[in-house]
Amino acid sequence: MAQTYHQLRLDLATALAVFLDPEEAHAESLRWFEEGLDLSRSWMVAHGSEMVPAMVRRRVSAWVRRRRTGEPWAYILGWSLFRGHRFKVTRDTLIPRPETELLLEAALDVGRRLKVDRCVDVGTGSGILAISLALETDWRVTATDLSPGALAVARENAASLGAEATFVEGSLLDPVPEPLGLVVANLPYVDPADRPGLQRELAFEPASALFAADRGLALTEALLAQARARRAPACLLEIGAGQGGELCRRALGIGWGKAMVHQDFAGHDRLLVALG
């Protein structure tokens, strides 16, 4: 059936509202137009009453079929924005979250104050932290991950964004020689016990990027211990809501001189900064 762009956008919002709340469905339909079809809001004002080619309608229908299963939009699209840059994402990588910018900004601030000349991003995933740090500083950047699939995507992102960073496979800081410089990480921190109640979209992301033993704290604590033992001047970690107090105690117990928790815009613990 013939359809204008305006009608297609409205029909899309209605189709998405079957499984999203109406506000989310409206916002997502606008994103699909902008990001997926490359049609800006101003283009829609000028051309929204034009007819949609059948090929475009078929494309949107195929996206709706995938999205209905719970697959996140970023995987359907194949990329996600972070710090204004397009990062390729696949089912091997976590989808970048906006709150991870807090970690990036804290790393820039602490690294400049400590005058570091290098840093390590542990659990790099699609490479957002390593690549942003390489683009925004003159530090030597190394990144690690256990997942070869994630590392391949991170290397591809670094090449397409013109960032210089070294990506190595291995656990935590194992593959990185000293001196380490600043250590930053957004490691898995979700408690596996919370799994049954999580959003269905999360089932599409790699479990190895989400969950950690010991109520989500195991990898964060292991990295704090390794970074301290290997004389990193600071370790900055994204953490989960409600984990701040316990992780501060553990960081101080491990021998860090100072441990501070920062909250995100929703008031949840989101960042742990441990300093020598």
Task: Give the residues lining the site for ligand SAM (CB under 6 A).
Answer: 94, 96, 100, 122-126, 128-129, 144-147, 150, 171-172, 186-188, 208-209, 219
- Is the bond into 53 cis (omega within 30 degrees of 0)? no
Q: Nearer Cβ to ligand SAM, position 137 or 186?
A: 186
Residue 87: CB minimum distance to ligand SAM, A: 9
Residue 18: CB minimum distance to ligand SAM, A: 29
Distance of CA 7 to the CA centre of its chain: 33
Dihedral of CA 135/140/143/148: which sign? positive
Residue 148: CB minimum distance to ligand SAM, A: 10
Q: Nearer Cβ to ligand SAM, position 39 or 128?
A: 128
Residue 72: CB minimum distance to ligand SAM, A: 13
Residue in this structure with the two tokens 């299963």, named with its chain if needed: 69
Q: Where are the beta strands (DSSP E) in 68-153?
A: 79-82, 85-88, 118-122, 140-145
Residue 186: CB minimum distance to ligand SAM, A: 4
d(CA 32, CA 15): 13
Q: Nearer Cβ to ligand SAM, position 13 or 172?
A: 172
What phi and psi, each to the nearest 5 degrees, are found at residue 264?
-85, -175
Q: Nearer Cβ to ligand SAM, position 89 or 110?
A: 89
Q: Nearer Cβ to ligand SAM, position 59 or 262?
A: 262
Gyration radius from the chain CA atoms: 21
Residue 172: CB minimum distance to ligand SAM, A: 5
Three-state secondary structure call for residue 273 = strand
Residue 162 CB: number of other CB atoms within 10 A? 9
Three-state secondary structure call for residue 61 = helix
Q: Nearer Cβ to ligand SAM, position 188 or 244?
A: 188
Crossing angle between the packed helical segments 128-136 and 148-161, to the nearest 10 degrees? 30
